[in-house]
Structure 1
């Protein structure tokens, strides 16, 4: 998450600055991954098995 905004610049928590065109904030969503339950994409508690958003158990799944 970012630390704050300054006009069209995002200031990240590490102090890095980045010019952006838009910031989209979304809240109130819940993860629904039932469609992945049949494969090996989820751990025993229903969480995705991944590194950086890329599955470590299912080739090509991100």
Structure 2
């Protein structure tokens, strides 16, 4: 598994937590930051998935 997938998943989870805290406290800026972190995490996870596929294909 590629490190980008691990880091992306961690960013996504961190973003969800940040968004939840923002909702609880009424902090719109924190909510937005959380959503942005989630999007960044999903993108990084996707890049890692592509790298994994390339490795699998070239290893054959």
Q: Tell me if TM exceeds 0.5.
A: no
Larger C-alpha radius of gyration, 1 or 2?
Answer: 1
Higher RCO (CA < 8 A, seq sep 6+): 2
TM-score, scaled to structure 1: 0.17
Which of the pair is proportionally richer in helix? Answer: 2
